[in-house]
Amino acid sequence: MLIIGLILFGMLIGAGAQLLLGRPSGGSIDWGKALVAGLVGSFVGGLIFSLVAGDGLELRPSGIIGSLLGATIVTAAWYWFERRSRAAA
């Protein structure tokens, strides 16, 4: 159940990052990118933000905010790389 919860949390955080940045295709949420960006962003951003805030490894609002910030950064980098590779082609 923990793994399913982590996957769902990552997908929601990644989808939130896509909604914050806007989707370049103007279409619906890309759930594959949402999952990857959410999991990577949650791990890096959530962990760092929680430790800096002094909350440790418990689920606190600081970790959720850090997860969203991390996923937003990962999604923005992903969009930038896609635009760059399309321009080069």
| Cα–Cα distance for residue pair 77/25, rounded to 1 Å | 16
pLDDT (tens digit per residue) in 26-72: 678 889 989 999 999 888 887 777 777 776 666 667 678 888 988 99
Position 20 pLDDT exceeds 80: yes
Q: Specify the 3-state DSSP secondary structure of 56.
A: coil
- For 19, phi and psi rounded to 5 degrees? -70, -35
Q: Is-contact 29 10, C-beta < 8 A?
A: no
